[in-house]
Structure 1
Amino acid sequence: MGSVHSADGTVISYRSVGSGPGLLIVPGTLAMAADFDGLAAALAGRFSVHTIERRGRGASGPQGDEYSAEVETADIEAVRAATGARFAFGHSFGAFLTLEAALGGSAFERMALYEPGVSIDGSVPMDWAPECRRQLEAGEPAEAFLTFIRGINPETSGKAPRPLLRLIIPLAIKKPERLQKYALLAGSIREHAEAARRDNDFPKYARLDAPVLLMAGKGVKNTGAGRSAVRLKDVLVGSELVLYPKLDHFGPEKDPATIAAAVSAFCLDRSA
């Protein structure tokens, strides 16, 4: 474990493992650094891997009253500067933050992004947020979580009847993981709002000159994050897009070996 102070004084912790050139992992919403221990371990043979514990989680400080994507990109830069990380891997909202950090000046030589949570044509909807917030305030986190998963993916989980999801979720997600997601849900609303308020400003990423590996799972056609990876391919000059039809949005956590192999090959490409 290590920690740094971000630009606003907030303590940001990170988990380190391995040896070699530095690689920073930026988890997505509802995730903690430990959720990416499998990916970090799979990369540790070739990299010094540093997984940031994003603010509002674990030993890191709170999101704060002045929360914004900008304060999170300052967190990323603080950890990058402290560790000397040359490469970055971002998942979902973490991939969006990685792009924002690079645009703000974080000097990553290469970035690998799995289903970036970049809002394109309303792909990060927020109409679910008021009801989700109300349910959290009423002490109904399980119902709030159902509202979230139905609202954020209207073409997939959004089509499932709520009573059916009440039966499926406890079977599909173990209790410790559910409790973690419930605890992070209020902060997740603020995070999604940050991505949503930048809807369709993604052409700005064309200014980036660092090579980018874009990755997407089987939801490439019917989820916002999957489609965003495809759209970003046309904007990010010289980027690569790799599809994993057997993986879902949580591919980096469920199949870390496959994702680590792709990230390693891309970041250590000697022909570039």
Structure 2
Amino acid sequence: MTRDVSVGSVHSADGTVIGYRSVGTGPGLLIVPGTLAMAADFDGLAAALADRFTVHTIERRGRGTSGPQGDRYGVEVEAADIEAVRAATGARFAFGHSFGAFLTLEAALRGSAFERMALYEPGVSIDGSVPMDWAPESRRLLDAGKPAEAFLTFVRGMNPETSGKAPRWLLRLILRLAIRKPERLQKHALLAGSIREHAEAASRDNDFPKYARLDAPVLLMAGKGVENTGAGRAAVRLEDVLVDSELVRYPRLDHFGPEKDPATIGAAIASFCLDRSV
């Protein structure tokens, strides 16, 4: 059954307008997308959850109907954005993907009262797993009006053990074939803001033991890159730190599992949030 998506907005603590998309019926669940993503990219996951939850997908600042990142951009303002939407919607549960999962943890540390959190490959920097050595060249290429090459630099730099090993010419071809043009253009447009986002995660390298202060149950999820990607390994390390957590692996899915297979990930989120066996 197709459900209508409604669009709402709130003002965050600094006055910035933060939009969100809502669909479904039931207890509130907040989706926090990762970097280079917009709220609509998670419509499939929201639809998979809509028969059991009222799903609210935040449009993170710097994109869509939300205001700009702003001069004082940082984790603190993103956490405040999450709290503003949580308070406005009454969402009891949260799902975060990648950088959005990192922000979900940070919001919880600052008092966002989520009863349960599901996190897919959190973008938490552990032992340098969020590198930034690619960023200067990516910025230079953006300034030179070459967003496709800037994005290519980002993809190689963030995944040195996988895509980083491919020659630029080959990876350029793979990206053109694997990512539709509208999606590529979206990523190009969000890349400048993404550099700021990654810098926030990288600046907190190895401070992840602080998450031991969280007592809410957490479902950690990881795809096939659990051994050779920073985000995959972060999920494993976080299981040892979070006091009430479990890790589920999806060997057939990659880092974008929630967008590519929303039915599987949605079922796991629903079972966990409703306190059933994953």
Give the TM-score range, shorter chain. over 0.9
Which one of the candidate residues 195, 199, 202 is aligned to 1:189?
Answer: 195
Residue of structure 2 equivalent to 1:260: 266
Please list the CA deviations of residues 28-67 of structure 1 after superposition, one character each: whole Å capped at 9, or x if unmatched: 0000000000000000000000000000000100000110
Distance in 2, Cα, partners of 1:260 & 1:2: 23
The gaps in structure 2 that reach 5 residues or longer are 1-6
Distance in 1, Cα, partners of 2:244 & 2:171: 41
Letter matched to residue 221 of structure 2: M
Residue of structure 2 equivalent to 1:122: 128
Distance in 1, Cα, partners of 2:159 & 2:110: 29
Structure 1: which 4+ aligned runs deviate by more than 6 Å? none
Say if 1:20 and 1:151 are closer, same or farther in 2 by CA, change over 3 A. same
Which one of the candidate residues 248, 254, 270 is aligned to 1:248?
Answer: 254
Letter matched to residue 66 of structure 2: S
Distance in 1, Cα, partners of 2:244 & 2:16: 36
- The alignment partner of 2:78 has SS state of helix
Residue of structure 1 equivalent to 2:230: 224
- TM-score normalised according to structure 2 size: 0.97
Query: What's the CA shift for 1:166?
Result: 1.5
Query: What's the CA shift for 1:77?
Result: 0.1
Please tell me whether residue 176 in structure 1 is matched to residue 182 in structure 2.
yes
Letter matched to residue 21 of structure 2: R
Residue of structure 2 equivalent to 1:46: 52
Distance in 1, Cα, partners of 2:40 & 2:31: 11
Query: What's the CA shift for 1:165?
Result: 1.1
Residue of structure 2 equivalent to 1:202: 208
Letter matched to residue 253 of structure 1: E
Please tell me whether residue 5 in structure 1 is matched to residue 5 in structure 2.
no
Residue of structure 2 equivalent to 1:65: 71
Distance in 2, Cα, partners of 1:202 & 1:105: 17
Distance in 2, Cα, partners of 1:130 & 1:214: 32
Please list the CA deviations of residues 176-205 of structure 1 after superposition, one character each: whole Å capped at 9, or x if unmatched: 000000000000000000000000000000
The gaps in structure 1 that reach 5 residues or longer are none
Residue of structure 1 equivalent to 2:91: 85
Q: Which deviates further from its counterpart, 68-77 or 162-171?
A: 162-171
How many residue pairs are counted as aligned between the two chains? 271
Letter matched to residue 103 of structure 2: L
Query: What's the CA shift for 1:270?
Result: 6.0
Residue of structure 2 equivalent to 1:109: 115
- TM-score normalised according to structure 1 size: 0.99
Query: What's the CA shift for 1:120?
Result: 0.2
Residue of structure 1 equivalent to 2:240: 234
Which one of the candidate residues 100, 120, 142 is aligned to 1:136?
Answer: 142
- The alignment partner of 2:258 has SS state of helix
Residue of structure 2 equivalent to 1:35: 41
C-alpha RMSD of the superposition: 0.7
Please list the CA deviations of residues 95-144 of structure 1 after superposition, one character each: whole Å capped at 9, or x if unmatched: 00000000000000000000000000000000000000000000000000
- The alignment partner of 1:111 has SS state of strand
Letter matched to residue 42 of structure 2: F
- The alignment partner of 2:23 has SS state of strand
Residue of structure 2 equivalent to 1:99: 105
Letter matched to residue 164 of structure 2: G
Please list the CA deviations of residues 217-256 of structure 1 after superposition, one character each: whole Å capped at 9, or x if unmatched: 0000000000000000000012010000000000000000
